[in-house]
Homo-oligomer: A and B are copies of this chain.
Amino acid sequence: MWNEMISDAYEAIKDPGTEITVANLEKGPESIEQHYDVAWAELFTLRELERAEEERYDAVISYCFDDPALLAAKEKLRIPVVGIQEPSIHLASMLGRRFSIVSVGGEPGIGCARDEVGRYGLEGRLASVRVVNIPVLDIRKDREKLQSTMLAEARQAVDHDGADVIVLGCGGLLGLAAELQTELNVPVIDPGEVALKIAEDLVRLGLAQSKKAFPFPSPKMRRY
């Protein structure tokens, strides 16, 4: 179901020549909403990202707003590794002065989102992180409620926190951005969609993460 949602959304915006495969984690947490889940997902995500290079993909996306295993995979792989938060908040910084992240999953994820923005050095551009109390796994249960609560929080971000751009803080909100953008009259960025376009750009431009910045791991025994 999730895979299909992503495939459909990607089909609609991808370059004509791009072929996309959606893969799932073998193990790990059901959903990723805070640091604890990231720690559970890290290794299994990494294994899938590595598989992409083994199977000759041109680029790979760590498809979760917490960008699990992103730095590790940038070290291990030659092909471009793209998170969904990192390119989204950079794009947001080009479109406005200050962005807010609006997401599902409730309060526990707020600090984690702030930490990530700081890791990318863009905390000065962050107006706020706002969340609705819908668990990630329930996103698709009540579309109307999702949309109305997300809109309400995003409006608060724009009216009270000084945001002039909204970044959706989860990869499972596909299809929501356009509606919110129409209502709010500020850009609303879907991070999963941005990740695809940036991955395609990198491939087209012959670019990938710097191996000076992200050196290959030394060989050693690693078990799991």
Q: Which residues of A contact B (CB under 8 A)?
A: 13, 15-16, 27-31, 33-40, 42-44, 46, 69, 71-72, 74-76, 82, 86-87, 90-91, 93-97, 105-108, 111-112, 114-115, 118-122, 124-125, 135, 137, 158, 164-165, 178, 181, 185-187, 189-190, 193-194, 197-198, 201, 204-218, 220-224
15 contacts between A and B (CB under 8 A): A27-B223, A28-B224, A35-B74, A35-B75, A36-B76, A36-B217, A71-B112, A75-B108, A82-B94, A90-B90, A95-B207, A108-B217, A108-B218, A118-B118, A164-B210
- Does B194 contact A95, Cβ atoms closer than 8 Å? no
User: What CA separation (Å) do A28 and B72 show in the bound complex?
Assistant: 14
> Is the CB–CB distance between A75 and B215 below 8 Å?
no
Q: Which 4 A-B pairs have the closest CB atoms?
A: A39-B72, A96-B210, A96-B213, A164-B213
Measured between C-beta atoms, what is the minimum distance from A194 to chain B in Å? 7
Q: A220 — which chain B residues lie within 8 A by C-beta?
A: 29-31, 37, 135, 137
